[in-house]
Chains A and B, each alone.
Chain A
Amino acid sequence: MSNENAVELRNVEMHFNMSKEKLESLKEYFLKLIKRELHYEDFIAVNDVSFDIKKGDVFGIVGLNGCGKSTTLKMISGILEPTKGSVKTYGTIAPLIELGAGFDMDLTARENIYLNGSVLGYSKKFIDEKFQDIVDFSEMHEFLDVPMKNYSSGMVARIAFAIATVTTPDILIVDEILAVGDFLFQQKCEDRINAMINDDTTVIIVSHSIEQIERLCKHCVWLEKGKIKMIGDALEVCDAYKNSQR
């Protein structure tokens, strides 16, 4: 039954053209075209990856830098389109890939909450209702009408996390973001993610903190050079991953 799955990846491949030099002008382009010097080096970031993520699962992705973790997440959240294969998602997605995307630093936090909310596809009415929640969670009451360029990065992250998690999405995508903020706020973020997990939200986590993956995840995939090295129970995969690093 397909609707037991929240995410389905089938033979997904992602290729990038790594042109040796980046052509950004018409003249260069046509010169190279005429000279037949338009070489591209095909770089396969994700190679023939298939897996399913069940509804309500907490799914971790581990691997070294450049193994295709972030690319996979971006394909799941719809930012990147796979070169081959198909990615299917069932339900609403809240991507926490780099917090604060879409903030305009010239605007105040109040204006940014509305702007960023609409970036995530929330209606104005919905943000009106949740505004107090967002401010309470971020604890930024005094600074609401200050332009965000005067914020510290931790403060920006607080606001961003509060907006992104104000709904209970069907699928939550978390990419390395729990590393920001002080430890109290990190704890608060993890609590909120735990609450969502209990609420039957499917959570996909990428992290270099293997302890975090072991603590939170049920299942896990280990990617190496764009391919699946191992997939299955989180503890087993993490053990194998840790052992391979020694």
Chain B
Amino acid sequence: MASNNLNKASFFSDMKKFMPLLRNLVSKDFKIKYRRSILGVAWSVLNPLFTMLVLTVVFSKLLRIDVGTDFATYYIVGASMWTFFAEATSNSLSSIISSASLIKKVYIPKYIFPIEKCLFSLVNFAFTLIAVLIVMFARGVYPTWTSLLFFVPLIYCFVFVCGVSLFLSAATVYFRDIQHLYGVLLTMLMYLTPIIYNTDSLEGHTLVLKVVNANPMTHYVKYFRDVVMNNTIPDLTENLICIAMAVGVFIIGALIFKKAQRKFILHI
């Protein structure tokens, strides 16, 4: 059997061959993250809880922002999804550069590295969900049957995150500035996502509202809140919008990555 390592035909056989690698890299990241910390994995639950406490005190008690429901729950449900996006994309950003030593010496499909970071963040998200449940029960916002659909927005968001990550990791190889720029961009995007406010409070600011609604994360965060705490299921149109945004961004990201990856080795 003829095989050229960089052949397109070998894409799927590659994927199968390197699944164990993907798993090992995720578990490596996990081990390294919690190695030598006394509380270990518990931090994944405690961290969002503490952040929630701080923000609830600042925004709900001091600044008196009204989101129309319990602020603590509203915040932590939205923030968990946002944190997944922020963590996955900012980790993927440098994933190719920091794997330079590997990429230069062994043949490995390069998309493994950003995708691995996305999967790792997904694992962390699972722990954040525990924090979400703790807050919901503590605040008396009990999960309902629709809460079981939490995985639907999660899948949409995961596909979206993979697309963004593929693009960012490829672009950063060529332009290292993105590393510094992205922190600012993330802060901006966070305020363009309804995490500490409700889109209803934006009535009158048509332009801002338009931008916020064009932000895919707004849709995923809202969808997540709808099923987890509002006992509603978004309609077909909303689902289609979510899918279109996720798949569209994924395809663009994957195409750019595919085109860029042939020259990675010359730039890392």
Identify the A interface with B (CB < 8 A).
2, 16-17, 24-27, 29, 77-81, 86-90, 93, 95, 97-98, 101-102, 104, 106-107, 111, 114-115, 117-124
Is B64's beta carbon under 8 Å from chain A? no
Q: Is the CB of B17 within 8 A of A121?
A: yes
Is B262's beta carbon under 8 Å from chain A? yes
Task: Kindly name the residue among B17, B32, B103, B108 whose own CB sees the greatest number of chain A CB atoms within 10 A.
Answer: B108
Q: Is the CB of B106 within 8 A of A24?
A: no
How many whole Å from A160's CB to the nearest CB in chain B?
11
A104 to B5 CA separation, bound complex (whole angstroms): 25
A118 to B177 CA separation, bound complex (whole angstroms): 32
A117 to B18 CA separation, bound complex (whole angstroms): 10
Taking A79-B265, A87-B4, A115-B25 as contacts, is the C-beta distance between A24 and B105 under 8 angstroms?
no
How many whole Å from A2's CB to the nearest CB in chain B?
8
Q: Looking at the complex, which one of A27, A90, A115, A124 makes contact with B177 (CB distance below 8 Å)?
A: A27
Residues of B within 8 A of A89 (CB): 3-5
Q: Is the CB of A95 within 8 A of B107?
A: yes
Task: Kindly name the residue among A102, A106, A107, A115 whose own CB sees the greatest number of chain B CB atoms within 10 A.
Answer: A102
Chain B residues within 8 Å of chain A by Cβ, number = 32
19 A–B pairs (Cβ distance < 8 Å), ordered by A: A16-B266, A24-B175, A26-B175, A26-B178, A27-B177, A77-B107, A78-B6, A87-B4, A88-B2, A89-B4, A90-B1, A90-B3, A95-B105, A106-B32, A118-B24, A119-B102, A119-B106, A121-B17, A121-B18
Is B104's beta carbon under 8 Å from chain A? yes
If A25-B176, A90-B1, A97-B106 are given as contacts, then 5 extra A-B residue pairs at C-beta distance below 8 Å, sorted by A number, are A78-B6, A107-B32, A115-B24, A119-B102, A121-B18
A120 to B17 CA separation, bound complex (whole angstroms): 9
Is B134's beta carbon under 8 Å from chain A? no
Taking A29-B175, A87-B4 as contacts, is the C-beta distance between A80 and B20 under 8 angstroms?
no
Main secondary structure of the interface of A (DSSP, over half): mixed
A95 to B104 CA separation, bound complex (whole angstroms): 12
Is B241's beta carbon under 8 Å from chain A? no
A146 to B92 CA separation, bound complex (whole angstroms): 29
Is B101's beta carbon under 8 Å from chain A? yes
